[in-house]
Amino acid sequence: MKEKIKIVFFVFCLGSVCGGFLSGINAYTRERILRNQELKIKTAVLNALEIDYPPEKIEEVFSKNIEKIENKGRVIYRTAKREVAILFSGPGLWGNISGVLALKPDLETIQGIQIISQEETPGLGGRIAEKSFLERFVNKKTIPRLLLVPEGKAKRENEVDAITGATMTSRAFEELLNKSIADFRLLLKKE
């Protein structure tokens, strides 16, 4: 009996020490982690709009060049040259894909795409975050609809080469991009 009490006491002590220690760590790092996430979105927006920045001055460059417009919960980033960037987020094959889509001043041609987070399979769908894939979208038209076609078959200006072996991810990504562009257009029309 005495041994049992000792065990329960020990587990209780250890558990509370661990728990207390972790809440301390949590409180200490929370702010920094939130700031990192914000910084990440800003970096992605700058990259998508092809604005150069020194790594330590992201905030400064961002606030100097980009105007943030909030409208009914949607955020639009606009530059002085009237290029815009929108955030997109939605399901991929495995998990959520989120990123930034930048359009040229005509609001039809893609200026750049950046991925902020994705959970796709490394080596297959995970390649959507690679630079070489995202570069395929540059200068493509989003009207009437962006299409991902089998690798090497892209001819028209609204067609983009998909990733071989990652059909499901490519399809989900296509769906996601078109949906966010359509939402964005709707927002423009209303104004």
How many residues at the interface with another protein, by CB under 8 A? 44
Binding part of the chain for another protein, among 16-24, 45-53, 75-83, 181-189 by CB under 8 A, reads: 16-24
Closer of 108 and 175 to another protein (Cβ): 175
Draw the binding track, 166-185, toward another protein (x: CB under 8 A; -: no contact): xxx-xxx--x----------
For another protein, the binding residue among 12, 18, 50, 135 (CB under 8 A) is 18
Nearer to another protein, 19 or 105 (CB): 19
Binding status of residue 58 toward another protein by CB under 8 A = no
- CB-based burial label for 167 (10 Å; 0-12, 13-18, 19+): middle
- Binding residues for another protein restricted to 64-103, rule: CB under 8 A: 91-96
Q: Which residues bind another protein (CB under 8 A)?
A: 3, 6-7, 10-11, 14-15, 18-19, 21-23, 25-26, 29, 32-33, 36, 40, 91-96, 117, 119, 121-124, 148-150, 162, 164-168, 170-172, 175
